[in-house]
């Protein structure tokens, strides 16, 4: 059975009823998933969706929405961290691909999310885009929480060394299946087996063979198949491995 460790059901449901999205995932063997909130509107919806069987939630403020970050912003979602179905903080981090939020606001928000993950003993979900080295700098400086993951991994072997030195996890998304992603696939065998997760980041980053279509949690099986192809393992072995890793990571 498969676990999609990062999806956005609140966006997927804009095109299809969420019950249909989840049913399609279950039919494909995806029985558990993390739906990720990233702003004041999506956080409560993600928590509500986590009332469904096999669905868990993460809440936080995406770095692109971190403008004006302060304690009042944190207070909009911190109470959700008391709930058992909310198993993670984020997604948070740094995004220097777009200039939607000042870098100093992004970093201040990231530091506070790290603190929240420690305080509530939740996993930390980290987003980076053209910012991986800087995010690693912040994490090393602040000291990481017990459990953290770089979602939609994009780094090289030296970046991976810094993550594993802190006992972190990395999560591969649909882009690992792209023909142009040979460099990314080269990193897959270097990740410790007990530190690898897989995700769809749906409705984004649709994997081969469905590129060009909206993504959904059902497609995590194709991400897993790409990982299995690199490692030379049967897909069902990767399903079991990554699901066990997700259970441990999210303390489920």
φ/ψ of 127, rounded to 5, equals -105, 135
φ/ψ of 239, rounded to 5, equals -60, -50
Model pLDDT, residue 36 = 98
Contacts of 194 (CB under 8 A, 6+ apart): 245, 248
Q: Where are the domains of the chain?
A: 2-249
The least confident of 96-100, 205-209, 222-226, 230-234 is 96-100
Model pLDDT, residue 179 = 96
> Cα separation of 166 and 178, whole Å?
29
Q: What is the pLDDT of residues 145-154, one digit of tens each?
A: 999 999 999 9
Q: What is the mean pLDDT of the chain?
A: 98
What's the full length of the chain, in residues?
A: 252
> Are the beta carbons of 171 and 197 closer than 8 angstroms?
yes
> Are the beta carbons of 142 and 109 closer than 8 angstroms?
no
Residue 80 has pLDDT above 90, yes or no: yes
Q: What is the pLDDT of residues 110-149, one digit of tens each?
A: 999 999 999 999 999 999 999 999 999 999 999 999 999 9
Which run of H or of E encompasses 55? strand 55-59
Model pLDDT, residue 172 = 98
The DSSP line for 89-143 is EEEEEEE-SS-SS-HHHHHHHHHHHHHHHHHHT-EEEEEEES-HHHHHHHHHHH-
- Cα–Cα distances (Å) from 235 to 6, 24, 46, 49, 115, in that order, read 19, 19, 29, 28, 37
* Strand order, beta sheet including 196-198: 2-7, 30-36, 55-59, 86-95, 123-129, 148-150, 169-172, 196-198
- pLDDT band at residue 25 under the 50/70/90 scheme: very high
Model pLDDT, residue 226 = 98
Residue 251 has pLDDT above 90, yes or no: yes
pLDDT above 70 covers a percentage of the chain that reads: 100
> Cα separation of 79 and 249, whole Å?
21
Residue 180 has pLDDT above 90, yes or no: yes
How is domain 2-249 classified at the architecture level of CATH?
Answer: Alpha-Beta Barrel (3.20)
> Cα separation of 205 and 24, whole Å?
18
> Hey, which residues does 243 pair with through a beta bridge?
none
Model pLDDT, residue 111 = 98
Q: What is the pLDDT of residues 181-225, one digit of tens each?
A: 999 999 999 999 999 999 999 999 999 999 999 999 999 999 999
Instruction: Give which of 37, 34, 35 is closest to 59, Cα–Cα.
Output: 37
Q: What does pTM read for this prediction?
A: 0.97
Residue 99 has pLDDT above 90, yes or no: no
What single DSSP character describes residue 5? Answer: E
């Amino acid at each position: 059975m498969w676990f999609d460790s990062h999806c956005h059901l609140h966006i997927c449901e804009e095109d299809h009823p969420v019950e249909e999205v989840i049913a399609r995932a279950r039919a494909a063997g995806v029985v558990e998933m993390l739906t990720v909130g990233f702003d004041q509107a999506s956080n409560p919806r993600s928590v509500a969706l986590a009332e469904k069987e096999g669905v868990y939630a993460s809440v936080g403020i995406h770095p692109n929405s971190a403008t004006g970050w302060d304690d009042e912003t944190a207070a909009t979602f911190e109470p959700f961290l008391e709930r058992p179905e909310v198993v993670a903080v984020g997604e948070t981090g740094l995004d220097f691909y777009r200039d939607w939020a000042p870098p100093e606001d992004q970093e201040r928000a990231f530091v506070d999310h790290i603190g929240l993950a420690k305080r509530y003993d939740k996993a930390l979900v980290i987003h980076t885009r053209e910012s991986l080295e800087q995010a690693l700098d912040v994490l090393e400086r602040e000291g990481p929480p017990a459990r953290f993951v770089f979602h939609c991994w994009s780094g090289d072997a030296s970046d991976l060394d810094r993550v594993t030195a802190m006992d972190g996890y990395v999560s591969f998304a649909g882009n690992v299946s792209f023909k142009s992603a040979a460099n990314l696939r080269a990193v897959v065998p270097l990740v410790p087996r007990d530190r690898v997760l897989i995700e769809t980041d749906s409705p984004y980053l649709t994997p081969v063979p469905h590129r060009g279509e909206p993504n959904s949690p059902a497609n995590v099986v194709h991400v897993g198949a790409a990982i299995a192809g690199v490692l030379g393992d049967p897909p069902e072995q990767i399903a079991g491995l990554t699901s066990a890793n997700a259970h441990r990571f999210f303390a489920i």
